[in-house]
Amino acid sequence: KQEVTQIPAALSVPEGENLVLNCSFTDSAIYNLQWFRQDPGKGLTSLLLIQSSQREQTSGRLNASLDKSSGRSTLYIAASQPGDSATYLCAVGSYGNKLVFGAGTILRVKS
């Protein structure tokens, strides 16, 4: 049974700082890995999708890496801004697009 863990559970940083969010999973037989952002009371916004054959994906100030063999992914946010404050969710996809989610990292960027 796939289990996804995100560390840290919460993070508070000053504006402008670069930061790394961590995600680990127990079963390396994955189809893909997705990072989402969730604002309070809102839905999920897809940030980055990494296929199992890929090592990383980049979008603007975001970079996500994937190491299947060690069961790890990281989300790197450069030059953080107060607007980046949200909950970041890591989700591992198996065949059939069934996603297993981590509990999330609550990020607060202070101005």
Partner 1 sequence: NAGVMQNPRHLVRRRGQEARLRCSPMKGHSHVYWYRQLPEEGLKFMVYLQKENIIDESGMPKERFSAEFPKEGPSILRIQQVVRGDSAAYFCASSPTQGAMNTGELFFGEGSRLTVL
Q: Does 46 bind partner 1 (CB under 8 A)?
A: yes
Look at the block and give the residue holding tokens 């790394």. Answer: 20
The residue count for the chain: 111
Q: Cβ 4 to partner 1, closest distance in Å? A: 8
Q: Does 71 bind partner 1 (CB under 8 A)?
A: no
Within 10 Å of residue 65's Cβ, how many Cβ atoms? Answer: 18
Residues 6+ apart with CB under 8 A from 59: 47, 48
Q: Cβ 19 to partner 1, closest distance in Å? A: 21
Q: Which of 23, 64, 66, 89 binds partner 1 (CB under 8 A)?
A: 89
Q: Considering beta carbons, is residue 20 or 103 the nearer one to partner 1?
A: 103
